[in-house]
Structure 1
Amino acid sequence: MASNTAWDQRSEARSGSAWGWILAYAILVILIGFVALANPIATGLTTGVLLGVFLIGYGVLAIVSGVSSLSDRGRWTEVLLGVLGVVTGGIILFNPFAGAISLVWALGFWLLVSGIFQVASAIRGAYDRGWRLALGVLDIVLGGYLLFAGPATSLVMLATIVGISFIFRGVFLAFVAFGLRKLAQPNRANTRT
């Protein structure tokens, strides 16, 4: 029983001191979100660079996987996909704005196709017809907007999505931090008495 009490005290001490670090992280994430909203050009550039780096990393791993594969099945497919990933990543790193814009266009295409399927499902289905139809039309409008918007509008939309995502994530982390702080405070009062 004494060992459980010691473990509980160590756990409380960790949660009591961890909330400050989580709150600092939350504030940093919120600030990044506001920077992304305030400067869509920098957000587009960063997103393009990250996309290029990820594609190159994927390509290298796919090539290594294809070359070191023990079986011949799928070996050349992996190598070709790896080469394609490295080349595409290199092109995107050469022009990161094009990578960011292509990402927005891919999202627009996905929303457009998803919206068409939602509308078709709403027409054929018997349940949730109104909601499915509304969501499908919304997806079609948003997807069409993203597909046919100019490059500047695409970068602003990407920055808005990234910025809002970071802000919401930061607010969530702040709530977690304050929750940990609240949990640690009554326990400290009990250990002092």
Structure 2
Amino acid sequence: MTVSRGPAPHTTPDPLAYGAEATGDGSRGGPPAEAADAGPEERLARLGGSWTWLLGSAVTTLVPGILILVWPDETLHVLAVLIGLYLLVTGGFRFVAAFAREHGDRLAGLLIAVVYVLAGVLCLRHPLQTIAALSLITGAVWLVSGMLTGWAALAAKGMPHRGFVLGVSALAVVAGVVVLALPSESAVALTRLLGLWLVLLGVAELVLAMALRSALGKNRSDAGAGRPTV
């Protein structure tokens, strides 16, 4: 327990990194002069550790899920494009967010980002545009990313909202297992299932983003009042 004289470094969950060090304004700690001269890695760390980055990831997950549920009878090509773009964009979010983690824990975040990007490319390839292939790829990504995120959360014992992060990772694991376990005879059923899981995961990340915003606001208020911060 230390008494801060200003915005203090604070470990915060991230949509993808879940363990960024952020100050009260959602950026990594450090004097203003250092922030002005920060290199690309430090800038990525501040960006990836902000609650708005987590919000962007949540929206990226939520929007495709809503579109799939609203138009479940669209062509398989449209579904492949939606899921492929979701995976690619989410991979980009996770790549940036990985830099908000400590160097020792950064590998898991970068690995998740690579898995998302590779899966997105596979979904956009024409030969793989079958509902079974899309379900297999998406389910595998959710399972792997959920396990890696859960492992990172368990390793960071001082992480705020650690229970939330573990809950999101558990939801991703369950989504991956369910999608991989179901038969592929019913394309409509699997399409709706994919859309439903995307919405659930997006809402979970949205709640986490709002919790992070509240925590950062409280941390900034406590720092300004000179109250002890962790």
User: TM-score interval w.r.t. the shorter chain?
Assistant: 0.3 to 0.5
From the CA coordinates, give the structure whose radius of gyration is larger. Answer: 1
Of structures 1 and 2, the one scoring higher in RCO (CA 8 A, sep 6+) is 1
Q: TM-score scaled to structure 2, two decimals?
A: 0.37
Q: TM-score scaled to structure 1, two decimals?
A: 0.43
More strand by share: 2
